[in-house]
Structure 1
Amino acid sequence: MKKILMALTSAATLLCASGAANAAGTIQGNLGVTLTIGAGCVVGGGNSAGSANDFGSIDFGTYSSLSNIIDASATGSGGAGTLSLTCTTGTAYTVALNNGLHVGAGNQRQMASTAGALIKYNLYQDQARATAWSSGANALTGTGTGAAVPLIVYARVPAAATTPDPDTYNDTVTMTVTW
């Protein structure tokens, strides 16, 4: 009889325990949600392919003579519009342009033809082409406001006494944005 009573007690305990596990209920807890905005900048109007950023181009066009000044400005990599820079509010930034692949004496930028002939050119921060744009002391500096700022690179081929042979002249300048 003692064995039957123990078996009934054990069965009753199991039934009560399994009933409690199947009972409806509610449990609540907290879930933390965080987003950190760090200081930084984003260049707009450019493009990235692989490991390189393409910030656009400067096309002076086609001319038969360099006897006059030739001006141009950069367009974004999409072919229209300009580059822009958006930095978080209060973030100091610097935009530097190196001297290109064919730098000459006195850090003169030059475009080279396939035959190695050179044409001098200069880059500027302003439309009047009075403020040179390079690195170091001639880099563009500012402080972010959270709004996009146009990054217009103005270019000029100075007038020359002689015109080199017909060809396509190219250079590549690296733009570095630091904050």
Structure 2
Amino acid sequence: MRCRWPLWWLMMALPAGADTGVDDLSKSQVFTLSATLVNGCVLGSGSADVTTFGTLNFGNVPSLDTPVDVVSSQGSGSIVLKCTPGTPVTLALGNGNNVTGSISAGRRLIKAETGETLAYQLYQNAARTTVWGNGSNGGTTLVLSATGAVQEYKIYARLLNTVTLPSAGTYSDSVLVTVTY
């Protein structure tokens, strides 16, 4: 007896490598990627902006017969930022909360309970000759060119001497830093 296989079975048994139909063709095409980096700054040394540069503290002061000088550091008042390389940046300091108009005679720390004040000033240089302001409040802005790395800008502060010392307690102020690029 002779075995007959159906024709469809033979077709399935043949190797499929011989098929050169359209479905075996391939085509290649390129696509383009791009990014546009714009000028920008991050305040602080991390990848996100900080909410404060910390507190610049004059410490415990028993008298003000002579001025008290302090210098900021990272986390204690220094302005720390990272900007796109080559970006022209302007750093401006506001008046603080207790002075209106010109800061040429000094900014003011205030004792909240009594309203008493202590005069102080903020400078761009260690010699304390360039008052740091916003360009229209009696002080000068600082203009710089960004390097792309984290940069720290120290603040040189002076608590001004006074003949009449106000009462003991904590005196404070807040100064707005404005970074323009």
Alignment TM-score, normalising by the size of structure 1? 0.74
- Superposed, 1:32-71 pairs within 5 Å as 32-45=32-45, 48=49, 53-71=51-69
Give the count of matched residue pairs.
155
**Which one-letter code corresponds to 2:73 in the other structure?**
T
**Which one-letter code corresponds to 2:30 in the other structure?**
N
- Superposed, 1:131-170 pairs within 5 Å as 131-136=130-135, 138-170=140-172
Task: Identify unmatched segments of 5+ residues in structure 1.
Answer: 1-19
TM-fit CA distance, 1:154 = 1.1
Structure with the larger helix share: 1
**Which one-letter code corresponds to 1:44 in the other structure?**
G
**Which one-letter code corresponds to 2:83 in the other structure?**
C
- 2:69–2:158 Cα contact (<8 Å) kept: yes
Structure with the larger strand share: 1
3-state DSSP of counterpart to 1:138: coil
Task: Identify unmatched segments of 5+ residues in structure 2.
Answer: 1-20
TM-fit CA distance, 1:44 = 2.5
Q: Tell me what 2:115 maps to.
A: 116
Matched, 1:92 2:83: no
3-state DSSP of counterpart to 1:84: strand
Alignment TM-score, normalising by the size of structure 2? 0.73
Instruction: Provide closer, same or farther for how the CA distance between residues 157 and 76 of structure 1 changes in structure 2, counting only shifts above 3 A.
Output: same
- 1:56–1:74 Cα contact (<8 Å) kept: no
TM-fit CA distance, 1:174 = 0.2
Instruction: Provide closer, same or farther for how the CA distance between residues 148 and 99 of structure 1 changes in structure 2, counting only shifts above 3 A.
Output: same
